Structure formats: C-alpha cells, structure tokens
Structure 1
Amino acid sequence: MFIKRNYIFLFLLFLTLTSGCQATTDELLEASTIAFSDSFTATYPEPNVEAEQVSYYTSEAVGVRDETEYNLILEKDEQLFLLFFNPVEELDSTLNLQRDMEAEQEPLLLETYEGTEKQAYLIISEENEDEFKVIAGIGGAKVSTITVNSNLEESVTVMMEVLHSLSYN
C-alpha cells in the first residue's frame, strides 16, 4: 500500500512540475510579437544563402529543399518554411497582407508594421492543440510554416531574418 501511494505521489509531482514549465498560449504569442517587433531594429549581414532567384541571410541551419518559380521550400531540422515572393510587388505592398487576412478569419494574433519603406505583418493561428500556423510577410514576400508550440518564437525569428535580408538575383 505504501509503495502504491509513493507511485501516485511521484506521478502527481511529475505532472505538476511538467505542466508548470510549459508556457501559455498568451506567453508564446507575446514572445512572438516581441521577436517580430525586434526584427525591425536588428541589422542583418549580407545574404549567405543563394538560390536561383533570390538570396537571403540566415544564422540558423536553414537550407533550400526545393525551388520553383517564385517559391522556395526551406528546411530547418525537419520543419518546413514556404517562402513565396513576387519581385514585382514593392516592400510597402499590402497585397499578401490583404489575402492572408481574408484566409485567416480568426487568427490568435495579427501584428502589422507600417514603416516609410516597408509594410509587414505577422499572423498566427491555431493549427491544432500543439501547433500554430504562422505567416509573416514583408511587401511582396511571405513565409509560412506550421510549428510546434515550443518553437513558435524561434520560427518567427527565422522567418523575419529571411524576409528582412531577402534580395532578388
């Protein structure tokens, strides 16, 4: 009987400790908002990854998995990032923002940035219980991904890094 109670106690202790260490959705969204906002004051080195149509900088191990006209599939570890770009659209274009707002009717987060030369946005929606759909864009370029909760902030950082440093070849 004593051993059975110890197992129950240890199990309850484990549940309490692991649930207390997980960030809430609000905390994850707040951290992502900060990563998005901070990206506009960061400086990025020259592009260090060159694809056929575009170049970009990344400090992470983000490689090109596939390339088609105006699209790149990027991969970091096993997470895919879809980069869509339209070289005709300027940095202050709102075309992608308008389309993505129509597609994502009830996002958990919608952040925008309007600078003198750039129009940017971040949309985060719940994909399922443990994942988010993330779309980030600057002008005519955008990146989207599905990410697990624990990688949300890092995913936003990687996406904004690619978008801010994107140049057309």
Structure 2
Amino acid sequence: MPRKGLLVLLIAAAVGLSGCVASAEEQVANGVAQAAKAFEAEPRNTNETSENTDFYLPGGYTVEEPSDEYNIIITKGSDSFVLFVNPNEAGDSTLFYDLQKADPERKWVVDETFEQNGRFGFVTVRQVAENLFEVVASAGGAKLTTISEKKKIDSNMEWMMKTVRSINPKEEEQE
C-alpha cells in the first residue's frame, strides 16, 4: 500500500508542476518587462573589449574569434549571439528597428519599443520553429540577436538589453 501512495503522490506532483511551466507568451512577457527595466536602468559597467567597442558581458559568455569591430560573435555553451555595432548611429537611432520593419513577410510575436532621455531601444521576437524564437534587443547603434529556446527567452532578453545598453564605441584615432 505505501508504494501505491507514493506513486499517487508522484503523479499528483507531476500534474501540479506541469502547470508551473511558463508558456511562450509568459516567457516573452517576462522578457519584455526585464528588457524594459534594463533599458531604463543606468548602463552596466563594461568588462569586455572587441576592437573599438567596449561592452558589458555577463559571466559564462565568450567573445569568439574571429570577431571584428562591428560584428561580434558571442557564445555560451551551444548558444550563439551576434552583436552588431554601428558607431555612426546615436543613442536615438531607429536604424536597426527600421531595417527589421522593412520586411513585411516577417511576423513578430513581440515588437516593443522603448524611449527614454533621447534614447531609443527595442526588443522583437518571432517564432522560427516549434520551440525556437529569434530574439533581438537593440539600443541606439547596437543590436544583439540570437535564436533562443522558449525556456531561455526571458533571461536572454534581459542580458541582451543590458549588453546593448552598455555599448560605448571608442573614438577612432585620428592621424
């Protein structure tokens, strides 16, 4: 009898926990809220440099070689991210957003913009496969993009916005 009781308890726990798994919509909503907080917060201190770009990168992430001055490849485990930097764009630039919106064939499940103190940023998400989503976070002249599993959408959005907000292009040396 105790085994049957344990089995019933395990099944009940499994059913109860299955309701705790966040849906894609919940993951995205949480990610947007976290990205908005990161956009509105003071930029993180930079801790990484690639060519002429200083930026914040959380622990566990690696800048891959070859990266160049304007296209930086970042990895963590099997996840890859591409950071695009356009030093000619100011903090209020909508260039990356306008480029994304130029393709009417792309259907974004999330399309959120942020404006604060003369700065512009956005996050977008679109489903590319059953459990995979293209996630983009941008602030001014910096954009970070990845293909994310559903369960990582919110955490990716948060650190990606922190990173693009931290971008501080170095001045080109004049000769």
- TM-superposed CA distance for 1:146, in Å, is 0.5
- TM-superposed CA distance for 1:138, in Å, is 1.1
Query: How many positions carry a matched residue from both structures?
Result: 164
SS at match of 1:39: helix
Gaps of 5+ in 1: 1-8
Retained in 2: the 8 A contact 1:91–1:140?
Answer: yes
* Structure-1 residue corresponding to 2:81: 81
- TM-superposed CA distance for 1:59, in Å, is 3.0
- TM-superposed CA distance for 1:33, in Å, is 1.2
- TM-superposed CA distance for 1:14, in Å, is 8.0
Retained in 2: the 8 A contact 1:60–1:158?
Answer: no
- 2:23 is the counterpart of 1:30: no
Q: TM-score, normalised by structure 2?
A: 0.82
Q: TM-score, normalised by structure 1?
A: 0.85
Cα RMSD for the two superposed structures: 2.3
* Structure-1 residue corresponding to 2:136: 135
- 5 Å-filtered alignment, 1:1-169, equals 16-17=15-16, 19-66=18-65, 67-103=67-103, 105-169=106-170
Retained in 1: the 8 A contact 2:31–2:154?
Answer: yes
CA distance in 2, matches of 1:45, 1:77: 23
* Structure-2 residue corresponding to 1:4: none
CA distance in 2, matches of 1:162, 1:28: 20
Q: Which moved more, 1:53-62 or 1:15-24?
A: 15-24
Q: Do the aligned partners of residues 44 and 69 (structure 1) sit closer, same or farther apart at CA in structure 2, a change above 3 Å counting?
A: closer
Retained in 1: the 8 A contact 2:51–2:69?
Answer: no
Identity %: 27
Gaps of 5+ in 2: 1-7, 171-175
CA distance in 1, matches of 2:52, 2:139: 17
Counterpart amino acid of residue 24 in structure 1: S
- TM-superposed CA distance for 1:123, in Å, is 0.5
CA distance in 1, matches of 2:95, 2:130: 30
